[in-house]
Amino acid sequence: MRQEPRADQVAAAADVAADKERRLGGWLAEHGSVVIGFSGGVDSAYLACVALDALGPKHVLAVIGRSASYPVEQWETARRVAGRFGIPVREIDTDEMSDPRYAANPSNRCFFCKSELWSRVIPIARELRFGAVLDGTNADDLGGHRPGAAAGAERGVLSPLAILGFTKVEIRERSRARGLPTWEQPSSPCLASRIPYGTSVTAERLSQVERAERAVRGLGVAGDLRVRYHGDLARVELTPSELERWLAPESARRLRDAVRAAAGFARVAIDLRGYRSGSLNVLGGVTAA
């Protein structure tokens, strides 16, 4: 049985995270000025705020890359966080959809998406003479299947949160301590992660899953949520506590009807195991079950 951590253990963990943040401030100061790939997610929002404190607004630029695979809600969060904390932002459009290597949706799809993003961000950093280009990759991300990271590495993009060993839990803890609204925000990877490898990524399919997820959220579902695309069937992944609630037939039918009406899926099914990061990597045989 899992035991709750003792108060002294919690305090010690908080001290470790605070110490990492001090080191992060020093690391950023060494680089002088930074451009950050900014999605408005937990990691990049935290990184941008620490960078702003360490370097000041003239030496930080957060770049938001907009495309069909970037959820509108995430974009709104990114703008809201940047506005509230005074983070300088530039918004650019990216066009990974027009790259047939991306649209074909191979298991390294993220490589082509991130290649497109960085190919547009790095020239901005050069033009403005910023010292480094950063992303929000953290230490927990290093073990999984993340071909997008290779695109950044090839171009010299740095990941200070990973370099300094920040875990997701620590980033949430420090975000909470700083009053960042993103601290308890569910992870939100791009919408293409809902489409199985080998099934082509189209604007219509991305829109379908986005509309479906918004409809499920509209029912009051909290926590991590994914609607996975399986052609005519939408497979909904919920957190364990939500799963209990929505597997009752009357609730499940309400969820089904909402997804059908919003997104046009003929069939809707609720995943029995619930949300798991990289679910389609497992289904596609890219990672082990």
Partner 1 sequence: MLEVIGVRCKVERRGALAVLTPLPGDRSLERPEVRREVLSVLRAHGFTHAAVEFADDEDSA
- Contact residues: partner 1, CB under 8 A: 230, 233, 235-236, 244, 247-249, 252-253, 256, 267-273, 279, 282-283, 285, 289
Residues with Cβ within 8 Å of 15's Cβ and at least 6 positions away in sequence, in order, are: none
Could you write out the DSSP letters of every residue in 99-167? -HHHHT--TTHHHHHHHHHHHHHHHHHHHTT-SEEE----GGGGGS--HHHHHHHHTT-B-HHHHTT--
Report, in Å, the least distance between residue 190 CB and partner 1: 21
Cβ proximity to partner 1: between 185 and 287 the closer is 287
- The token pair that represents 95 in the structure block: 């066009």
The answer to whether residues 43 and 188 touch, using CB atoms and an 8 Å cutoff, is no
DSSP letter at 176?
H
Q: Which residue has the tokens 């949300």?
A: 275
Is the Cβ of residue 131 or residue 196 nearer to partner 1 in the bound state? 196
Given the complex with partner 1, which of 134 and 234 has the nearer CB atom?
Answer: 234
How are beta strands 34-37 and 225-230 bridged, if at all?
unpaired
Beta carbon nearer to partner 1, 48 or 258: 258
| Nearest residue (CB) to partner 1, 135 versus 213 | 213
- The arrangement of strands across the sheet holding 60-66 comes to 89-93, 60-66, 34-37, 132-134
CB of 269 to partner 1, least distance (A): 4
Q: Pick left, alpha or beta for residue 189 (phi over 0 → left; psi -120 to 50 → alpha; otherwise beta).
A: beta
Between 37 and 274, whose beta carbon lies closer to partner 1?
A: 274
Shortest distance, CB of residue 140 to partner 1, whole angstroms? 22
Min dist CB 227 to partner 1, Å, is: 11
Query: Least separation, in Å, of the C-beta of 260 and partner 1?
Result: 10
CB of 160 to partner 1, least distance (A): 35
